[in-house]
């Protein structure tokens, strides 16, 4: 992920815009009066936190990301806006070094290789005889329906030493890259073979939905180990990925709760039955990095872990981590002796649910989804759970045991900021441990835990924030198409004329900067277009020079997307036609998104204005629909450029 995405992720667009615009919450979004045009009648300005964008549907008819807003509001250029926002996000702007470019390219390439493997394993599951057993297992034993299988791209690795090896070899991938991507295992003598054999395959994607690795589960109950994951690689770091988070993040935000389960099947089946806020760590206890990733979306966590003893232990470890990763605020309080000290309070609500009847989450939710809902709803605050776990099987008459338990549990009560609630917990502890509550308080001479310093956290893992991207939905898709167009144009800027001619012949507007959605892509588009209106340099040289000059902006991905394998075969003309089609596609995607955004605005206004509609807005919508019609028509025909 580049620095620009990182800045967008660190900053809350609602925070920034509400400094100058009075915003009102309306469902998931915010509306207000546009700061860029005079208007006090219709609030036609909308901020969409989920996509990190804003739009004025009134007179300006403009929108964009947080950079665009700051540029317009402060009257600064992109470079200046970038500096301001980087500063605010506490992110250092660093030039993209050749090493970094190389690493980014390597990652993209390995991801592509893994995507091929997803297709291969999927095909094995769906269309082969040997996949039959796996299909039956998923559907009959696990209750997974075909639609779910498709959504989670489940697959089957055949019982073979070289199935994926040969498949990818035929696709032109070298063996060493398959090893690096974690698909093959290399023996001491240099022989290589498929790492995953006769297993159900789970593609593992990072928070942005990019491929990171695979998990494989045995079909034959005698095979060991039951589960294997991809090995650690530049793509796969199991302590910083949460399975399912790319699909759960939206629901975690909207339900304002994250449910943590302990297995891939649990995540999948719980989602299938309608609870899409579940995620799972990678077969280990929850890590700090994972916890910090989650807390971008919610502060309410429920741990629904396996009922076995290992699960219980994992819960406790997970809780410790969770407490460490979450912020604490510090309140001055009086202790029982009237002395002032500071207690820290957890800015989060951590609960643990107890799963009944020795069942796993997927079994419960399949038995009855209402049971699952109830279990999550009645999850106990961690303190009760910890108390239960600590006291189970202990001799509570032994003073030593008592004091050990108190020292472990008491810090947890300090996390609770609600005083009556906290007192209730303390009374409960005193009751269970059969001690006087005052004794309990006196034992706890405020050992204020040192708040974890941010610096330290940043040193212990390499890419915490950078794994989070807000731009995950349509905008991400648009962004990728935009990048592809720009990559082509920066190699062949003059082809803009041919593209424009074609667009006009189809009744469409010529290519402009506003065809690109993100500010950084608009900026690069402008450079490319500028190269055509100057005659000092060859356009390509001009672009190269400008890009180098703006080394501060080099985090903009100027690197071209990796060439498709069949690209070489394509003639130049085919590439031009393909790019022209992409231009129309990106317009179509962005118009569709605008219409969707528009519908949101309309529905929020209908509630207020009793259905009365602003005529400017009506015209705007008609215009969008008309433009979409023209595009649909042009896209229904093959693109022929002479
Ligand atoms: Zn406006």
Residues 369 and 330 grouped into a single domain: yes
Residues lying with their CB under 5 A of ligand 1, a single-atom ion: 34, 36-37, 56, 58, 60
| Dist. CA 43 → ligand 1 center (Å) | 9
DSSP label at 563?
A: P
| Dist. CA 85 → ligand 1 center (Å) | 22
Q: Quick check: is 241 in a domain?
A: no
Residues 365 and 421 grouped into a single domain: yes
pTM above 0.75, yes or no: no
| Dist. CA 235 → ligand 1 center (Å) | 42
pLDDT at residue 281 above 80? yes
- Total domains in the fold of the chain: 4
Tell me what pLDDT residue 466 has.
Answer: 24
pLDDT at residue 299 above 60? yes
pLDDT at residue 463 above 70? no
Q: Quick check: is 642 in a domain?
A: no
Q: What confidence category does residue 551 fall into, taking pLDDT thresholds of 50, 70 and 90?
A: low
pLDDT in tens, 405-454: 887 777 677 666 666 777 788 888 888 888 877 766 665 544 333 333 33
| Structure-derived torsion over alpha carbons of residues 407, 411, 412, 416, reported in degrees to the nearest 10 | 140
CA distances from 526 to 67, 148, 430, 590 (A): 16, 43, 69, 19
Identify the residue with better confidence: 637 or 257. 257
pLDDT in tens, 185-217: 999 898 999 999 999 999 999 887 889 999 999
pLDDT in tens, 46-57: 998 878 899 998
Residues 216 and 151 grouped into a single domain: yes
Tell me what pLDDT residue 606 has.
Answer: 67
Residue appearing with tokens 């004794």: 439
Choose one of 89, 110, 128: the last residue of a domain: 89
User: Any bridge partners for residue 320, and if so which?
Assistant: none
To the nearest whole percent, how much of the chain has pLDDT over 90?
34
Average pLDDT of the residues in 143-171: 96
| Dist. CA 352 → ligand 1 center (Å) | 47
Residues 223 and 320 grouped into a single domain: no
Choose one of 458, 483, 517: the last residue of a domain: 458
Residues 557 and 511 grouped into a single domain: yes
| Dist. CA 33 → ligand 1 center (Å) | 8
pLDDT at residue 564 above 60? no
For residue 569, count other CB atoms closer than 10 A to its CB: 8
Looking up residue 25, the CATH number of its domain turns out to be: 3.90.580.10
Looking up residue 496, the CATH number of its domain turns out to be: 1.10.860
Residues 215 and 71 grouped into a single domain: no
CA distances from 288 to 285, 322, 327, 452 (A): 10, 7, 12, 11
Average pLDDT of the residues in 302-313: 66
| Dist. CA 618 → ligand 1 center (Å) | 15
pLDDT at residue 119 above 70? yes
Residue appearing with tokens 């997803």: 118
Q: Residue 123 belongs to what domain range?
A: 100-233
Q: Are the C-beta atoms of residues 256 and 298 closer than 8 Å to each other?
A: yes
Q: Quick check: is 492 in a domain?
A: yes
Average pLDDT, the chain: 80
| Dist. CA 626 → ligand 1 center (Å) | 21
For residue 26, count other CB atoms closer than 10 A to its CB: 19
| Dist. CA 65 → ligand 1 center (Å) | 15
| Dist. CA 40 → ligand 1 center (Å) | 11
Average pLDDT of the residues in 336-365: 67
What are the phi and psi torsion angles at 272 (to 5°)?
A: -55, -35
Q: How far apart are CA 343 and CA 356, in angstroms?
A: 36
| Dist. CA 39 → ligand 1 center (Å) | 8
Tell me what pLDDT residue 99 has.
Answer: 83
Tell me what pLDDT residue 617 has.
Answer: 78
| Dist. CA 600 → ligand 1 center (Å) | 17
Residues 396 and 330 grouped into a single domain: yes
Q: What confidence category does residue 334 fall into, taking pLDDT thresholds of 50, 70 and 90?
A: very low
Q: Quick check: is 43 in a domain?
A: yes
Tell me what pLDDT residue 565 has.
Answer: 46
Average pLDDT of the residues in 21-36: 88
Q: What confidence category does residue 39 fall into, taking pLDDT thresholds of 50, 70 and 90?
A: confident
Bridge-based pairing of strands 155-157 and 199-205 is: antiparallel
SS3 content of the chain, % helix, strand, coil (to 5): 50, 10, 35
| Dist. CA 36 → ligand 1 center (Å) | 5
Residues 496 and 605 grouped into a single domain: yes
Tell me what pLDDT residue 362 has.
Answer: 93
| Dist. CA 519 → ligand 1 center (Å) | 18
pLDDT at residue 589 above 90? no
| Dist. CA 34 → ligand 1 center (Å) | 5
Q: Quick check: is 419 in a domain?
A: yes
Q: Quick check: is 243 in a domain?
A: no
Tell me what pLDDT residue 312 has.
Answer: 60
Q: Quick check: is 244 in a domain?
A: no
Q: How far apart are CA 583 and CA 518, in angstroms?
A: 15
Q: Quick check: is 239 in a domain?
A: no
Residues 281 and 393 grouped into a single domain: yes
Tell me what pLDDT residue 395 has.
Answer: 85
pLDDT at residue 168 above 60? yes
Average pLDDT of the residues in 583-612: 78
Residues 362 and 315 grouped into a single domain: yes
Choose one of 405, 430, 458: the last residue of a domain: 458
Tell me what pLDDT residue 320 has.
Answer: 64
Looking up residue 352, the CATH number of its domain turns out to be: 3.40.1360.10
Tell me what pLDDT residue 374 has.
Answer: 94
Q: Look at residue 96 and give its three-state secondary structure.
A: coil
Residues 493 and 632 grouped into a single domain: yes
Mean pLDDT is lowest, of 159-163, 280-284, 345-349, 532-536, for 345-349
Tell me what pLDDT residue 448 has.
Answer: 37
Tell me what pLDDT residue 284 has.
Answer: 72
| Dist. CA 516 → ligand 1 center (Å) | 19
What are the phi and psi torsion angles at 94 (to 5°)?
A: -120, 140
Identify the residue with better confidence: 636 or 568. 636
Bridge-based pairing of strands 227-229 and 29-32 is: unpaired
Q: How far apart are CA 213 and CA 118, in angstroms?
A: 10
Residues 216 and 258 grouped into a single domain: no
Identify the residue with better confidence: 573 or 1. 573
Looking up residue 163, the CATH number of its domain turns out to be: 3.90.980.10
Average pLDDT of the residues in 98-118: 90
The three-point CA angle 127-133-137 to 5° equals 115
Mean pLDDT is lowest, of 351-365, 456-470, 497-511, 538-552, for 456-470
């Amino acid at each position: 992920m580049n620095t620009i995405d990182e800045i967008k992720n660190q900053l809350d667009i609602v925070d920034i815009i509400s400094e100058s615009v009075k915003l009102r919450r309306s469902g998931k979004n915010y509306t207000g009066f546009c700061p860029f045009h005079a208007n006090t009648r219709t609030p036609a300005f909308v901020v969409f936190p989920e996509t990190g964008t804003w739009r004025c549907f009134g007179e300006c008819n403009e929108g964009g990301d947080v950079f665009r807003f700051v540029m317009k509001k402060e009257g600064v250029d992109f470079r200046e806006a970038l500096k301001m926002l980087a500063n605010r996000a506490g992110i250092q702007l660093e030039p993209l070094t050749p090493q970094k470019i190389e690493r980014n390219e390597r990652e993209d390439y390995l991801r592509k290789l893994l995507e091929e493997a997803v297709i291969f394993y999927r095909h094995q599951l769906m269309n082969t005889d040997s996949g039959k057993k796996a299909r039956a297992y998923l559907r009959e034993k696990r209750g997974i329906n075909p639609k779910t299988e498709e959504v989670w791209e489940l697959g089957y690795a055949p019982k073979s030493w070289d199935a994926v090896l040969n498949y990818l070899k035929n696709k032109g991938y070298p063996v060493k890259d398959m090893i690096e991507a974690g698909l093959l295992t290399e023996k001491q003598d240099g022989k290589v073979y498929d790492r995953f054999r006769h297993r159900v395959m789970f593609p593992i994607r990072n928070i942005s939905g990019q491929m990171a690795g695979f998990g494989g589960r045995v079909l034959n109950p005698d095979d060991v180990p039951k589960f294997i994951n991809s090995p650690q690689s530049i793509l796969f770091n199991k302590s910083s990925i949460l399975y399912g988070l790319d699909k759960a993040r939206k629901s975690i935000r909207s339900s304002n709760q994250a449910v943590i389960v302990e297995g891939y099947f649990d995540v999948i089946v719980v989602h299938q039955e309608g609870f899409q806020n579940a995620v799972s760590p990678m077969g280990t206890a929850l890590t700090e990095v994972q916890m910090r990733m989650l807390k971008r979306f919610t502060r309410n966590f429920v741990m629904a872990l396996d009922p076995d003893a290992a699960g219980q232990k994992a819960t406790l470890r997970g809780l410790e981590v969770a407490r460490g990763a979450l912020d604490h605020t510090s309140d001055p309080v009086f202790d029982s002796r009237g002395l002032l000290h500071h207690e820290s309070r957890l800015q989060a609500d951590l609960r643990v649910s107890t799963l009944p009847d020795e069942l796993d989450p997927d079994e419960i939710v399949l038995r009855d989804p209402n049971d699952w809902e109830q279990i999550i709803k009645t999850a106990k605050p961690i303190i009760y759970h910890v108390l239960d776990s600590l006291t189970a099987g202990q001799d509570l008459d032994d003073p030593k045991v008592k004091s050990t338990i108190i020292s472990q549990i008491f810090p947890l009560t300090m996390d609770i900021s609600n005083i009556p609630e906290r007192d209730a917990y303390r009374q409960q502890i005193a009751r269970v441990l059969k001690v006087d509550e005052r004794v309990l308080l006196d034992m706890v001479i405020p050992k204020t835990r040192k708040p974890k310093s941010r610096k330290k956290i940043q040193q212990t893992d390499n890419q915490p924030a950078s794994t989070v991207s807000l731009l995950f939905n349509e905008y991400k898709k648009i962004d990728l198409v935009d990048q592809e167009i720009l990559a082509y144009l920066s190699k062949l800027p003059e082809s803009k004329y041919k593209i424009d001619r074609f667009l006009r012949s189809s009744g469409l507007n010529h290519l402009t900067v506003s065809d690109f959605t993100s500010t950084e892509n608009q900026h690069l588009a402008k450079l490319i277009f500028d190269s055509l209106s100057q005659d000092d340099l060859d356009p390509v040289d001009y672009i190269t020079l400008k890009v180098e000059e703006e080394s501060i902006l080099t985090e903009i991905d100027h690197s071209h997307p990796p060439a498709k394998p069949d690209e070489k075969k394509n003639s130049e003309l085919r590439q031009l036609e393909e790019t022209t089609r992409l231009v129309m596609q990106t317009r179509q995607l962005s118009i569709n998104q605008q219409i969707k955004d528009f519908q949101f605005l309309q529905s929020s206004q209908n509630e207020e204005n009793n259905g009365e509609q602003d005529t400017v807005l009506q015209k705007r919508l008609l215009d969008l629909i008309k433009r979409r019609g023209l595009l649909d028509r042009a896209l229904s025909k093959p693109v022929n450029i002479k």
